Amino acid sequence: MARETWSAPRARPRDVSGVSVGVVGAGVVGLSIAWRLARTGYTVSVVDPHPGRGGSWAAGGMLAPVTEAWPGEEAALRLGEESLRRWPGFARDLAAVGGDPELRTEGTLVAALDQGDSDSLAALGEYLDSLGRDAAVLSRREIRGYEPGLDPVVRGGLLVPGDLAVDNRRLLAALRRACRAAGVHFIGQEALEVDKDMVRTTSTTHSYHHVVLAAGAHSCMLHRSLRHTVRPLKGEILRVRAHRTSLPAPERTLRAVVEGRPLYLVPRSGGTVVIGATQYEAGFDETVTVGGTRQLLESAERVFPGVSEYELVESTAGLRATSVDNLPMIGRLPDGVIAATGHHRNGVLMTPVTADAVVDLLGGSKLSDSAHAASPERLTEEEVS
């Protein structure tokens, strides 16, 4: 897969020093936007009572546009791939000022547990091949050669070498440090309403030259144009850790569908594995349920039995910001607020391309074709009213 270098912002035709920007939301998207804008010369404030938490804290950290792809969502695939090409350079630049986010390049394995799964993966492989994407259908023996810890019932699978992963929590910590080093000001207040030049919080109103709304699932509560186009979608994840007497953790991201439910196991340094994720409509409820925990553990054991011996370290839940068509909202809303939300399962993946798009919008530069396709203007007036 070709790599695109992510570099310092391009020179702008005008001096932006003294131009203020309020960024609402301090997840991976909001923090990345704030960092990029501050590096460009804007005076940036981030409004969030709990920076670095929310859905970004509960993410799996997969950078996987290909294994998330399906016919009918080509626009999301193109945007995800564009962002993936920027990830290596983005990670290198961030590591230099904020810390290493631990980008993993081993690729992704998708396991098939039964004949139906095998047929679906074969169809996905054919679809990806028709698009010129790198993916290889594997036999039972071939997939176990890549990951011996898979359950013997696994019939085969799909290898996607170009789909990567990053440690979302190291990424959040690195972004916070990078923002502070770039002079970003943090306002620990809850936003109640946004407009093109103001953010009203629980205690006061802050005025800016520009406002960027990157509050994830809560964005729909802060701007009327997003009320019916972005919604929360709950997801629970577990963190487990291998120990010296257990089988080692998988070497690369494992994905599967168990009884119709998607599952992933994403390795981290030190033997930790993130298991996720449930997905259901629950409004803004972020409690972890017994049923969700049981589902994840049982599904993980079906795919990678050795996980049953691991230490259960954490269970948590977060809210995905899901748009009506699973393509994010990146661009100006009718009143001039810049939206950067609605990334569904791909907020971490699409972070670099989203941050670059916001910088380009404010600087008057033309967006890439894939970023332009995510403009809120694609929705009808009826949908945003």
CATH code of 312's domain = 3.30.9.10
Domain end position, chosen among 323, 351, 374: 323
pLDDT for the residue 4:
44
Whether residue 173 is found in the same domain as residue 203: yes
Residue 269's nearest CA partner among 147, 109, 107, 102 is 102
According to DSSP H, which parts of the chain are helical? 28-40, 54-57, 74-97, 115-130, 140-146, 168-181, 290-303, 351-363, 369-372, 381-384
| pLDDT per residue as tens digits for the range 191-234 | 999 999 999 999 999 999 999 999 999 999 999 999 999 999 99
Domains of the chain: total: 2
In a domain, 15, yes or no: no
In a domain, 362, yes or no: yes
pLDDT for the residue 90:
97
Whether residue 268 is found in the same domain as residue 308: yes
Whether residue 172 is found in the same domain as residue 297: no
More confident site: 69 or 373: 373
In a domain, 125, yes or no: yes
Is the pLDDT assigned to residue 2 strictly greater than 60? no
Pairing of strands 272-276, 311-323: unpaired
Characterise 107 by phi-psi region: left (phi > 0), alpha (psi -120 to 50), beta (else): left
Amino acid identity of residue 223, one-letter, is: H
Whether residue 184 is found in the same domain as residue 61: yes
Whether residue 336 is found in the same domain as residue 346: yes
Whether residue 171 is found in the same domain as residue 304: no
Q: Give me the mean pLDDT over the 254-264 stretch.
A: 91
| pLDDT per residue as tens digits for the range 203-214 | 999 999 999 999
In a domain, 4, yes or no: no
**CATH code for position 341:** 3.50.50.60
pLDDT for the residue 118:
84
Domain end position, chosen among 323, 346, 372: 323
Is the pLDDT assigned to residue 384 strictly greater than 80? no
Q: How many CB atoms lie within 10 A of CB 22?
A: 26
Are 374 and 79 in contact, with CB atoms under 8 Å apart?
Answer: yes
pTM value surpassing 0.75? yes
Q: Which structural domain range is residue 283 located in? A: 104-163+232-323
Residue-wise DSSP of 63-88: E-TTTT--TT-HHHHHHHHHHHHHHH
Is the pLDDT assigned to residue 100 strictly greater than 90? yes
Q: Is 332 helix (H, G, I), strand (E, B) or coil?
A: strand
pLDDT for the residue 130:
83
Whether residue 157 is found in the same domain as residue 254: yes
Whether residue 318 is found in the same domain as residue 189: no
In a domain, 14, yes or no: no
pLDDT for the residue 220:
95
Residue 308's nearest CA partner among 270, 285, 275, 357 is 275
pLDDT for the residue 13:
47
Whether residue 244 is found in the same domain as residue 108: yes
pLDDT for the residue 380:
43
Whether residue 87 is found in the same domain as residue 172: yes
Domain end position, chosen among 323, 342, 376: 323
Whether residue 174 is found in the same domain as residue 312: no
Tell me the average pLDDT of the chain.
Answer: 92
Q: Give me the mean pLDDT over the 299-305 stretch.
A: 97
In a domain, 7, yes or no: no
Question: Which pLDDT band holds residue 7 (cuts at 50, 70, 90)?
Answer: very low
Whether residue 75 is found in the same domain as residue 214: yes
Are 6 and 352 in contact, with CB atoms under 8 Å apart?
Answer: yes
In a domain, 95, yes or no: yes
Question: Which pLDDT band holds residue 9 (cuts at 50, 70, 90)?
Answer: very low
pLDDT for the residue 359:
97
pLDDT for the residue 5:
45
Q: How remote is the C-alpha of 286 from its chain's centroid?
A: 18
In a domain, 5, yes or no: no
